[in-house]
Structure 1
Amino acid sequence: MDNKKSILLFAVFFIIYEFNVYIANDMIMPGMISVVNEFHSSTDNIAKSLSLYIIGGSTLQIFLGPLCDRFGKRNILLFGNLLFLVASGIIPFATNIGQFLTARYIQGLGLCFIFIGYATIHELFDDKMAVKLCSLVSNISIFAPLIGPVIGSAIIIAANWRYVFIVTAILAIVSLIGLARNMPNSKPSSEIMPFKEILVTYRTIITTRFLLQGAIIIAVICLPMIAWIGLAPVLVLKTLGKSYSDYIIYQSLVFGGFILSSISIQFLAGRFSFYKLITRGTVLSFIGLLIAAIFHMHTWIFIMGMFLASFGIGLYNGSIFRIAITSTGVSNSMSAATLNIVQSASMAASIEIVNKICDHFNYSVASFAIVNLICGIVMLIICFNFAKLVKNRSWQ
């Protein structure tokens, strides 16, 4: 097998792994009402399940960067895939909400290892191709909120929610075998990095302005979409009283914006500077959130506003990631790990805040839309400031 074919197959199986890690959450979301009812639990545990999954996705990050440099990215990613596979097999045996949430946190650890694939891509390709590939790979994972509810709903109707995780385990086996056969391995360091050097490296990374700002910005701009994933089962199925079919349609429309932006960025990357992608994408996403807030009482207009917001976000999140990860001048693995830690922690905390606010207002669409609009205003300010900072730098 030649090198190009092997790299292509690596990308394919990495996509399957990333897709599976995300779809594990999205397949169960339409069934979360059944989960909390079966365990006689409160509704706020629906969003908490997502928060714990995301927190799990940042728990190991600080250790994985040095481990990748020491043992090679391939070995660490394979271990992560195996861990995710084992965790997926635990969840169907949960007998109460505490066990379920704990198992979801463990399963979320699989998210920790996704950055390894991105770091590998950034090492193998130049700015233009790296942005294209990362945008494609990351936005392919957005198919999860589209396909996940469809598959999840079908499984729940035919059997029950526990079988969702059996499907997840099967996909984990496929990605594990594919990555083991095709993933290129970075050359491990011949010496273990001293603990003091690790601390110095992380200090350099965390004090790099562009990385820290980039991580926070990514958390802010993705919050409306992540919050939608966590709260949509309650908003659509309970507050609006819609059916599973309506839930699937709304998910498809909202996240269809990411799909279109993924296609668009393949033509725009290299033709437009990072500054233009960030500013134009920010404006589009803010307009979408504004429309959703103003017309929250009109379901279809609200959904189309969310669609526009997701399209705008998809246009520039890859650019910010590229700028952040290449700004430190040190290990891409450790930089990507730090980026993921900051954005995951910020995102998990923000979801809990949004969940508490919406819970206080009985999960009304108005409360969700207004919180998103406030997030959009913050996004508008910090993204334009970030774009100005990088305008005259080499990232153009």
Structure 2
Amino acid sequence: MSIKSRQLLWFFAFFLVFELNIYLSNDMIMPAMLGIVDEFRADEKFVPLSLSLYLLGGSSLQIFLGPLADTIGKRKLVLTGNTLFLLATLAVPFATSIEQFLAVRFIQGMGCCFIFVGYAMIHELFDDMAAVKLSSILSSTTILAPLAGPILGSAIISRLDWRYVFFLSALLALLSLLGLSKTMPRTAPTVTRLDLAAIVRSYAAIFSNGRFMFGMFTAGLATVPLTAWIGFSPIFVLQEMRASYATYIALQCVILSGFVLSSIAIQRLRQDFPLVHLLRLGGLVAAAGMLGAGAGRHHVDVFAACMFVYSIGFGLFNGALIRSAITASKESMTLTTAAMSLLYCIYLSAWLQLYNVLCQRFGYALETYALLNIPVIVVIAACLLLFTRGMAGGRESGVRLARH
């Protein structure tokens, strides 16, 4: 292995730590959220709202960071984002009210804004199959974190104050900052100065690209059921079902491990495997799982098993869907991934708040959540069918994961 290849792999490893920590910081604190709202004498609605604000923070800077990445270089931005996340994480434990807690969590979420810069570098530095495989690994952190997060968080809060969750997260942030500063490639800026008119034209072209917008809408919507489960499950399981932390952790592991397994399976695909097959197969598996979860909503074991099937299907099509969407744009990869990250977070935050409003109306219960997912999966399946139909017959139908 060449020195350059080894450095790229170390860069990917430390970037993986950075991204994993951003999600882990949120998921480690979820088991403690009911205790936090009680400590601050707040309502249970703030449990999912904390997640929504964290995601909104993660959508607040992308469109500005995209042009800056092309002007000052991606390395500086990623290191800045890591530093911001580190400082905000250290500030969270000193909140004295739910308002302060949510405000600092919003700022902490801004660290998410810088992740797309690393994604852009990966798509630029690696060929199609390598990019899909590495993106799949990175995407799996969004599910690996909910698996490991509740276990670590429950272990911490069983012996220590919830604030130590953020001290651990700050330690990981320091590790990724030091590692990235040493291994992240120094890329030359692609433009010498900001051309605001050109930036506006590029963003206009990206946001007017029907295939990109449709793909990102579908990807954002498809992520909602699992993200909503992460945000609402402390209420469903710990409060409404009055189950133990062990049951809560077990449900998280069963439901979310399907995504990790499908990500591992994708790593074993041959180089010329068509993306369209992943999209169709994943959509079919996801639909079967989600409809089964709705039908079995009164039986927790059946519900969990069917949600496991959904997460497998989601893991199969998610990476291929995102890759197909961002490559539909011919604009700067940095600006395109910035737009992708912005849309992704906005869609997630909006849908989570809709779930929150409906749960306030009909009750924070597992049955309510399962029924809400049924129309969502119908729309997801229809969108995937339309998206893959656009890939059939044209040049993109044969988009195969070939080496360059």
TM-score normalised by structure 1 residue count = 0.98
Name the counterpart of 2:395: 393
Partner of 1:376: 377
What does residue 338 of structure 2 align with? Answer: 337
Match of 1:317 in 2: 318
Contact 2:147-2:252 within 8 A present in 1 as well: yes
Matched residue, 2:274: 273
Shift of 1:190: 5.0
Is the contact made by 1:235 and 1:365 (CA closer than 8 Å) also made in structure 2?
yes
| Partner in structure 2 of residue 138 of structure 1 | 139
Do structure 1's residue 58 and structure 2's residue 39 form an aligned pair?
Answer: no
**1:269 deviation in Å?**
5.5
Q: CA deviation at 1:129?
A: 1.6
SS, match of residue 273 in structure 2: coil
Residue 102 of structure 2 is matched in structure 1 by 101
SS of the aligned residue for 1:158 comes to: coil
- 2 CA distance for matches of 1:60 and 1:73? 14
**Residue aligning to 1:70:** 71
Specify the alignment match of 1:82 in structure 2.
83
Please name the residue that 1:47 is paired with.
48
**Residues 139, 259 of structure 1: 8 Å contact kept:** yes
- Alignment partners' CA distance in 2, 1:85 and 1:91: 10
Cα distance change of structure 1 residues 132 and 6 upon mapping to structure 2, 3 Å threshold: same
Deviation at 1:173, TM superposition (A): 0.1
CA distance in structure 2 between the partners assigned to 1:359 and 1:246 by the alignment:
24
Does 269-278 or 41-50 show the bigger shift? Answer: 269-278
Q: Counterpart of 1:204?
A: 205
Letter in 1 for 2:194: M
1:74-223 counterparts in 2 under 5 A?
Answer: 74-189=75-190, 191-223=192-224
SS of the residue corresponding to residue 188 of structure 1 reads coil
For 1:250 and 1:34, locate their aligned partners in 2 and report how far apart those are by CA, in whole Å.
Answer: 20
Residue number in structure 2 paired with 1:7: 8
For the 8 Å contact 1:253–1:307, the answer to whether it is kept is yes
Paired residues for 1:348-359 under 5 Å: 348-359=349-360
Aligned-pair CA distance for 1:189: 3.4
Shift of 1:147: 0.6
- Distance in 2, matches of 1:269 and 1:233, equals 40
Aligned residue number for residue 245 of structure 1: 246
Which consecutive unaligned segments of at least 5 residues does structure 2 have?
none
Partner Cα separation in structure 2 for residue 187 and residue 358 of structure 1 = 49
Which whole-Å deviations, capped at 9, do the CAs of 1:14-63 have from their partners, x for residues lacking one? 01000000001100000000010001100010000000000000100001
Conservation of the 8 A alpha-carbon contact between 1:59 and 1:341: yes
Does structure 2 conserve the Cα–Cα contact (< 8 Å) formed by 1:131 and 1:269? no
Q: Residues 308-347 of structure 1, C-alpha deviation per residue, up to 9 Å, x if partnerless?
A: 1111000111111111212211111110000111121111
Secondary structure, in 3 states, of the residue corresponding to 2:186? coil
Give the drift of 1:124. 1.2
**C-alpha displacement of 1:263:** 0.7
Partner of 1:25 in structure 2? Answer: 26
The letter for the 1-side match of 2:73 is G
Using the TM superposition, give the Cα deviation of residue 272 of structure 1 relative to its aligned residue in structure 2, in angstroms: 3.1
* 1:329-383, Cα deviation, whole Å (9 max, x unpaired): 1111110000111121111010000011112222121110011111100001001
Tell me if the contact between 2:23 and 2:141 (Cα under 8 Å) persists in the aligned partners. no
- Per mean C-alpha deviation after superposition, the further-off stretch among 183-192 and 335-344 is 183-192
What letter corresponds to residue 21 of structure 1 in structure 2?
I
What corresponds to 2:308 in structure 1?
A: 307
State how far apart, in whole Å, the 2-side matches of 1:256 and 1:190 are.
42
Q: Residue 283 of structure 1 aligns with which residue?
A: 284
> 1: CA distance between counterparts of 2:12 and 2:308?
27
Percent identity for Structure 1 against Structure 2: 41
* Corresponding residue for residue 326 of structure 1: 327
| TM-superposed deviation, 1:268 | 2.8
Which ranges of structure 1 fall in alignment gaps of 5 or more residues? none
User: Cα–Cα, structure 1 residues 315 and 190, in superposed 2: closer, same or farther, change >3 Å?
Assistant: closer
- Cα pair distance change 1:255/1:269, threshold 3 Å: farther
Letter in 1 for 2:249: I
Give the aligned partner of residue 298 of structure 1: 299
Mapped contact 1:275–1:388 kept (Cα < 8 A)? no
Contact 1:278 1:319 (C-alpha < 8 Å) held by counterparts: yes
Q: What is the rounded CA distance, in whole Å, between the counterparts of 1:345 and 1:141 in structure 2?
A: 16
Cα pair 1:286 1:376 within 8 Å, conserved: yes
Q: Which residue is 2:17 aligned to?
A: 16
2:382 aligned partner, one-letter code? I
The farther-off stretch of 107-116 and 358-367 is 358-367
CA distance in 1, matches of 2:182, 2:337: 24
Give the CA RMSD over aligned residues. 1.2
